[in-house]
Amino acid sequence: MNRPRLDSPNPIVLAEIQLGSGYKNDVRTVGRKQFALRNMQVKVLVLISLGLLSLAAGQQEHPATTVKKCSGSKPFPLEVRVHNCVTPPCLIVKGTTQKFEIDFAVDKYITQLTTLVKATTLGIITVPYELPADVAAVCPNLQYGAYCPLYPTEDVSYLFSFPIGEYPEIGVKIEIYLVDQDNEIATCFVCDIKVVKGNGGNTLYELDYLN
| C-alpha closest to that of 178 among 112, 134, 128 | 112
Give percent of the chain with pLDDT exceeding 70: 64
Q: Give the model's pLDDT for residue 34.
A: 65
Q: Give the model's pLDDT for residue 122.
A: 82
Q: Which ranges of the chain does DSSP label H, i.e. alpha helix?
A: 11-19, 24-61, 133-136
**Mean pLDDT in residue range 36-42:** 58
pLDDT digits (tens, 9 = 90+) for 78-90: 999 999 999 999 9
Q: pLDDT band for position 170 (50/70/90)?
A: confident
Q: Is the distance from CB of 164 to CB of 129 less than 8 angstroms? A: no
**Mean pLDDT in residue range 52-60:** 48
> Pick the residue with more confidence: 14 or 79?
79
**Mean pLDDT in residue range 139-163:** 97
Which of 92-101, 182-191, 194-203 reaches the highest mean pLDDT? 182-191
Q: Give the model's pLDDT for residue 6.
A: 45
- Pairing between β-strand 90-93 and β-strand 185-196 as defined by DSSP bridges: parallel
Residue 22 phi/psi, 5-degree rounding, is -65, -20
Q: Which amino acid is at 169?
A: E
- Pairing between β-strand 97-105 and β-strand 155-163 as defined by DSSP bridges: antiparallel
Instruction: Determine which of 11-15, 127-131, 189-193 has the lowest per-residue pLDDT on average.
Output: 11-15
Residue 47 has pLDDT above 70, yes or no: no
DSSP 29: H
Q: Give the model's pLDDT for residue 80.
A: 98
Rounding to the nearest 10 degrees, give the CA dihedral for residues 56, 58, 62, 68. -70
Q: Is the distance from CB of 179 to CB of 185 less than 8 angstroms? A: yes
CATH of domain 64-210: 2.60.40.770
**Mean pLDDT in residue range 2-28:** 49
Q: Give the model's pLDDT for residue 169.
A: 79
pLDDT digits (tens, 9 = 90+) for 17-35: 454 555 445 545 556 656 5
What's the mean pLDDT when you consider all of the chain?
Answer: 78
Give percent of the chain with pLDDT exceeding 90: 55
**Residue ranges covered by each domain of the chain:** 11-58, 64-210
